[in-house]
Structure 1
Amino acid sequence: MDTQVWLEFLKQNWLVIAIGLIVLLIVVNLVKTVVKWLLVVLIVGGLLIYSGISLDQINDVVSTVKNETVDTVKSEVMNLMMKEAQDAKYTSNGDGTYTVKAPNLELNGSSGSGEVKVTFRGVPVGTWDINDTIQSYIGQARTNSTTGS
């Protein structure tokens, strides 16, 4: 969000925000337990609704941040795949599935499937479609496992 938009909003609505904060402080100091927090949520929600920020806009921002984060992690994992390809080892599990392990990455898939489950430093990062980079990584891991290096 643009800081200029927030500054303009604060300039236009400073009185309503000040009144809301004063009411919020009074509620926090006088009312106890669950009722207090319910009133706090209602006041903050009212200020958000008054400000013109809708839940759809908040959802859009959260979705955008999530997508950008996933894309960044995927890019980093792909770069790491290229760097760790020489250390990757391919293991056939005997039931039609396979595992490719490297120091920071683990891929689990099944033969003939177009997807693999990717784990980065012990944290699952999702199921990805097999692209050229992943296919090359799996091929290098097979080569490493058969040559014994």
Structure 2
Amino acid sequence: MDMQVWIEFLKQNWLVIAIALIILFIVLNVVRTVIKWALVVLIIGGLLIYSGISFDKIQEVVTTVKDETVDTIKTEALNMMMKEAKEAKYTSNGDGTYSIKAPNLELTGSAGSEKVDVTFRGVSVGKWEINETIRSFIDDAKGNAASK
């Protein structure tokens, strides 16, 4: 969302926005029920539609932000794996599953599987495909367990 687009929109439609705000204040002060909030939502929705912002654009922005956040968390978790590999502790659960715990990370998986559940700083970040970094982290954790 470009700020210049918003400024231009406000310059061109200031009268419509002013009228909508006056109507909103009247509705908020006069009507005292659930209808008040329904009218508020309708007025704001009308302004959004009038401004050219579609729900598809809003959904696209939300999706973009979500994807960028997930990518950032994944990158940070992978970097943390490389830093904490020496402190990782491998535990075999006896039923073909294993868990690896480091100060900020926890991986759980099963032997032979190509995916692991990753928890980063206590928050599950999903099932990840085992890549080179994760494989190295698992191997280092196994080595730490063997050397003790």
TM-score by length of 2: 0.98
Are 1:33 and 2:61 matched, yes or no? no
Name the counterpart of 2:11.
Answer: 11
> Is there any run of 5+ residues in structure 2 with no aligned partner, and where?
none
Q: What letter matches 2:143 in structure 1?
A: T
Please state whether the residue corresponding to 1:103 is helix, strand or coil.
Answer: coil
Quick one: distance in 2 between partners of 1:30 and 1:116? Answer: 57
Name the counterpart of 2:50.
Answer: 50
Are 1:83 and 2:73 matched, yes or no? no
Deviations 1:25-55 (A, max 9, x none): 1101111121111111000000000001000
Quick one: distance in 1 between partners of 2:45 and 2:131? Answer: 45
Quick one: distance in 2 between partners of 1:33 and 1:75? Answer: 48
**1:96, distance to aligned residue in structure 2 (A):** 1.0
CA RMSD of aligned residues (A): 0.6
> Is there any run of 5+ residues in structure 1 with no aligned partner, and where?
none
Please state whether the residue corresponding to 1:112 is helix, strand or coil.
Answer: coil
Quick one: distance in 2 between partners of 1:112 and 1:55? Answer: 44
TM-score by length of 1: 0.98
Please state whether the residue corresponding to 1:127 is helix, strand or coil.
Answer: strand
Please state whether the residue corresponding to 2:112 is helix, strand or coil.
Answer: coil
Runs of 4+ in structure 1 off by over 6 angstroms are none
